[in-house]
């Protein structure tokens, strides 16, 4: 006898639909409640770097509007982690010798409560911090925000989405009054004649997405902006469209140049601008000095390509539809909000947002990157995408929680500042980490690791010994995706059901259970349910009337397969396509904001005269996801990409005497990465590319700067000066192998 459950992939925000089939003896739980038996065998949590014990589930792609039955390599192999030998199945406490050993749940919870009480008594409530993640379900993200603010009493909560979507979110809020990654269904792209995609390599980060680009590519209308000839940029070959290959960090100037052409060649949608926007005059003046030839000198993109891009976008808007899509490549900068704003301004000049067949959107990265930022993990937000400084918002949420409004703390610190405060006299001394591997994923990772080591107490919830968990005083074992119920919100703003297909190991617990037990021990006000559906019902109430209103959505409708795009107020049918009638500002108009490039600081000189100064860009590989804490444990994926490689142009490599596969040092004042060289004509000669999935000596974020966008708090991930040189003496092989932390 076999049973199956329809659910969604645990990785990116495309949230591909899949069916998990469970063999007899591993019966799934169809409803939240007691763990069914028999369960998988308890695994030795101290075993590391071991192969999977055999996937307990079979996976099949399921027909769904986003993936249409397709899955990428990560999705196909996702069940192999559920029964992995390195799975943590008991709470682990680090001893004086640095070794983690199993303890009981009662002991673990007592330690957490004692650490919280000690930090609050000695330093105040804000000495306790919480770092969440965009992989948490909506229910857990919501409860984590409530738990931090009421049970812990702290304002110090933020999450790893600050490193992902914050610039696009800030730009969307400023322009439209609301932030939803794609304010239209993904299927809308199928009929577009022109798509401008900036800073996103969907062919590798979410491969099933590319089928939505086929019609545009066949029409020759796909325009990709990327300093590398990525797999997505390669789709523009053979008449598929255009590849614009700017210098890193010049995307803002490029967008201003395209806007200049739209205005000066009278390609603007004048009636749309008059009826639906404000601020056009200031924007028009701000782009006057960005004529194509000047922009060519700034970006390296030929002036004629700049003109051709503007003309194709305008023609598409008049004929079959045009879309402008942005990704992390143009947003993960200290001017990321302004760059996303420039893309929005361009889309407004052409009349795209709110059109029936055109639009602007940003591509959410993490699995629940959209829902995770809507319901309280961000330092400045309350559920429903409400501002924590808004008295009406505070009163509404306090009413749902049944507490006095003054119990809800004010705004906290965005992620980079939160991490910089670790162990400092007035900073966080006791930190909780959920669904995030900050030791690998954070900018200036060496400094972050030192901050973790300076804490009085670090608790990490995880199912593997990630690099962050290895630093923890206490690790609490939690459920994996196929072992839990809940909801997530995909890149379209569509709320989806996650269904449990497998019994978890007996020692693992849901974060909802953990928070409920800790809240009880801390005598916290309000209630904390461990039932996901009960938590979602509370989330509905808390979000009601907010920008991200989920009040009209419930589990029953999702289980029936109904499409649920927020905002979905009670009594409505949801909003698949935003802005058709009005934008979310009081006057119903979109706000155009003039932006201009800022001068970047002069980089430090290399201490080694033999090293070549280059610009580092970072990104993802097809086989890996985020910090690699999961995908580096999948044998098939690790075999395909076992280590980081520095992609360098052959001409640049030749000038340094670097050959294919040779060891290279990529360094700056923050740290050093040593890895093998991969020579490729797909990258500009001035740049070097590193994937950010690998730890230790191959960790790209040793080199990235913790400087942040003043509006969004986004760190500078995509433009960092480095010094590249060959490594004269080969390092021991074991220093270059990617292994699980122990």
Quick: pLDDT tens for 201-212: 999 999 999 999
| Per-residue model confidence as pLDDT tens digits over 626-659 | 999 999 999 999 999 999 999 999 999 999 999 9
**CA 257 centroid distance within chain:** 29
Q: Is 39 left (phi over 0), alpha (psi -120 to 50) or beta?
A: beta
* pLDDT recorded at residue 605: 79
Percent of the chain with pLDDT over 90: 90
pLDDT-based confidence at 30, cuts 50/70/90? very low
Helices 138-146, 511-521: axis angle to 10 degrees equals: 20
As a whole number, mean pLDDT of residues 689-701 equals: 96
Q: Over the chain, what is the mean pLDDT?
A: 92
Confidence (pLDDT) at 426:
94
User: What are 615's strand-pairing partners?
Assistant: 687, 721
DSSP element (H, E) containing 687: strand 687-691
Prediction pTM value: 0.93
Q: What value does the mean pLDDT take over residues 674-682? A: 97
- For residues 529 and 512, the answer to whether their CB atoms sit within 8 Å is yes
Spatial distance between the Cα atoms of 388 and 398, rounded to a whole number of angstroms: 11
Residue 53 clears pLDDT 50, i.e. is over it? no
Average pLDDT over residues 315-332: 95
3-state secondary structure 175-220: HHCCCCCCCCCHHHHHHCCEEEEECCCHHHHCHHHHHHHHHHHHCC
Band the pLDDT of 600: cuts 50, 70, 90. Answer: confident
Given a cut of 90, whether residue 271 has pLDDT beyond it is yes
Q: What is the pLDDT of residue 404?
A: 98
pLDDT band per the 50, 70, 90 thresholds, residue 739? very low
| Per-residue H/E/C for 314-330 | HHHHHCCCEEEEECHHH
- pLDDT tens figures, 384-395: 999 999 999 999
Residue 573 phi, psi (nearest 5): -115, 15
Could you read off the pLDDT of 371-428 as tens digits, one per residue? 999 999 999 999 999 999 999 999 999 999 999 999 999 999 999 999 999 999 999 9
Q: Judge whether residue 623 has pLDDT over 70.
A: yes
Q: What's the confidence (pLDDT) of residue 312?
A: 98
Reply yes or no on whether the pLDDT at 40 is more than 70: no
For the cut 90, the answer to whether the pLDDT of residue 54 exceeds it is no
Q: What are the percentages of helix, strand and coil residues in the chain, rounded to 5?
A: 35, 20, 50
Distance in angstroms (rounded) separating the CA atoms of residues 320 and 215: 11
pLDDT beyond 60 at 61: yes
Nearest-angstrom CA–CA distance, 690 and 701: 9
Whether the predicted pLDDT of 43 surpasses 50:
no
What pLDDT, on a 0 to 100 scale, did the predictor assign at position 48? Answer: 30
- 81-96 mean pLDDT: 96
Q: How many angstroms separate the CA atoms of 493 and 13, rounded?
A: 10
Interval 706-737: pLDDT, tens: 999 999 999 999 999 999 999 975 444 443 33
Give the residue among 59, 51, 56 at the shortest CA–CA distance from 40.
56
Q: Pick from 219, 667, 189, 178: which is nearest to 387 by CA? A: 178
Q: How confident is the model at residue 308 (pLDDT cuts 50, 70, 90)?
A: very high
| Torsion 398-399-405-411 (CA) sign | positive
Whole-number pLDDT of residue 42: 28
34 pLDDT above the threshold of 80: no
C-alpha 483/C-alpha 528 separation (Å) is: 20
**Confidence at 2, pLDDT banded by 50, 70, 90:** low
Structural element, H or E, at residue 382: strand 381-382
Q: Per-residue pLDDT averaged across 165-192, rounded?
A: 96
pLDDT at position 11 over 70: yes
With contact defined as beta carbons under 8 Å apart, do 554 and 536 qualify? yes
Rg for the chain, CA atoms, rounded: 25
Q: Which helix (H) or strand (E) holds 115?
A: helix 105-123
Q: What is the mean pLDDT of residues 2-29?
A: 82
Rounded to whole angstroms, what are the CA distances from 252 to 241, 334, 595?
21, 11, 8
Secondary structure (3-state) at 692: coil
């Amino acid at each position: 006898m076999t049973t199956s459950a329809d659910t969604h992939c645990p990785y990116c925000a495309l949230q591909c639909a899949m069916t998990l089939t469970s063999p007899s003896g591993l019966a799934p739980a169809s409803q939240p409640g007691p763990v069914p038996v028999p369960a998988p065998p308890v695994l030795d949590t101290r075993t590391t770097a071991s192969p999977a014990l055999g996937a307990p589930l079979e996976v099949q792609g399921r027909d769904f509007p986003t993936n249409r039955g397709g899955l990428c390599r990560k999705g196909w192999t996702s069940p192999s982690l559920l029964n992995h030998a390195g799975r943590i199945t008991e709470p682990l406490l680090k001893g004086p010798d640095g070794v983690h050993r199993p303890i009981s749940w009662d002991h673990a919870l007592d330690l957490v409560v004692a650490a919280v009480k000690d930090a609050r008594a000695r330093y105040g409530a804000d000495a306790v911090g919480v770092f969440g993640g965009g992989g948490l379900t909506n229910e857990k993200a919501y409860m984590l925000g409530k738990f931090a603010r009421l049970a812990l009493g702290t304002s110090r909560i933020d999450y790893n989405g600050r490193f992902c979507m914050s610039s696009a979110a800030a730009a969307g809020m400023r322009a439209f009054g609301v932030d939803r990654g794609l304010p239209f269904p993904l299927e809308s792209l199928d009929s577009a004649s022109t798509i401008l995609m900036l800073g996103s390599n969907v062919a590798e980060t979410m491969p099933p997405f590319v089928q939505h680009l086929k019609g545009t590519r066949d029409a020759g209308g796909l325009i990709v902006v990327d300093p590398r000839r990525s797999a997505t940029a390669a789709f523009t070959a053979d008449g598929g469209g255009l590849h614009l290959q700017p210098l890193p960090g010049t995307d803002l100037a490029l967008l201003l140049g395209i806007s200049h052409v739209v205005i000066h060649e009278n390609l603007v949608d004048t009636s749309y601008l008059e009826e639906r926007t404000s601020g056009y005059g200031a924007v028009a003046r701000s782009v006057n000095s960005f004529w194509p030839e000047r922009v060519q000198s700034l970006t390296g993109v030929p002036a004629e390509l700049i003109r051709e891009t503007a003309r194709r976008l305008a023609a598409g808007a008049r004929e079959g539809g045009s879309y402008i899509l942005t990704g992390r490549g143009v947003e993960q900068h200290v001017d990321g909000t302004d760059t996303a704003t420039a893309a929005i301004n361009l889309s407004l000049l052409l009349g795209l947002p709110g059109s029936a067949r055109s639009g602007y959107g940003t591509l959410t990265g993490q699995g629940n990157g959209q829902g995770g930022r809507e319901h309280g993990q961000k330092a400045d937000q309350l559920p429903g995408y409400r501002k924590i400084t808004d008295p009406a918002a505070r009163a509404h949420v306090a009413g749902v929680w049944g507490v006095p409004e003054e119990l809800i703390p004010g705004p906290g610190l965005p992620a980079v500042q939160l991490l910089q405060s670790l162990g400092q006299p007035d900073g966080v001394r006791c930190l909780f980490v959920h669904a995030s591997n900050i030791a690998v994923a954070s900018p200036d990772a060496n400094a972050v690791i030192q901050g973790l080591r300076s804490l009085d107490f670090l608790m990490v919830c995880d199912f593997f010994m990630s690099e962050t968990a290895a630093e923890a005083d206490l690790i609490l074992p939690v459920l994996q995706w196929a072992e839990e119920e809940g909801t997530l919100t995909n890149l379209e703003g569509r709320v989806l059901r996650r269904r449990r297909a497998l019994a978890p190991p007996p020692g693992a617990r849901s974060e909802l259970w953990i928070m409920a037990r800790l809240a009880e021990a801390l005598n916290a006000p309000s209630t904390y349910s461990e039932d996901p559906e009960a938590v979602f019902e509370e989330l509905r109430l808390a979000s009601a009337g907010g920008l991200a209103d989920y009040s009209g959505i419930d589990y029953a409708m999702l289980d029936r397969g109904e499409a649920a795009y927020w905002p979905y107020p009670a009594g409505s049918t949801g909003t698949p396509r935003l802005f058709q009638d009005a934008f979310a500002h009081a006057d119903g108009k979109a706000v155009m904001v003039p932006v201009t490039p800022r001068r970047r600081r002069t980089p430090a000189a290399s201490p080694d005269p033999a090293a070549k100064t280059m610009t580092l860009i970072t990104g993802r590989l097809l086989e890996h996801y985020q910090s690699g804490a999961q995908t580096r444990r999948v044998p098939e994926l690790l075999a395909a990409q076992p280590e980081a490689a520095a992609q360098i142009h052959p001409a640049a490599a030749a000038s340094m005497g670097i050959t294919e596969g040779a060891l290279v040092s990529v360094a700056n004042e923050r740290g050093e990465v040593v890895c093998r060289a991969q020579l490729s004509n797909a990258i500009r000669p001035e740049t070097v590319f590193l994937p950010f999935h690998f730890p230790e000596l191959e960790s790209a974020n040793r080199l990235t700067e913790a400087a942040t966008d003043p509006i969004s708090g986004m760190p500078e991930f995509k433009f960092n000066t480095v010094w590249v040189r060959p490594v004269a003496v080969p390092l021991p092989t074991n220093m270059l192998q990617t292994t699980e932390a122990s």
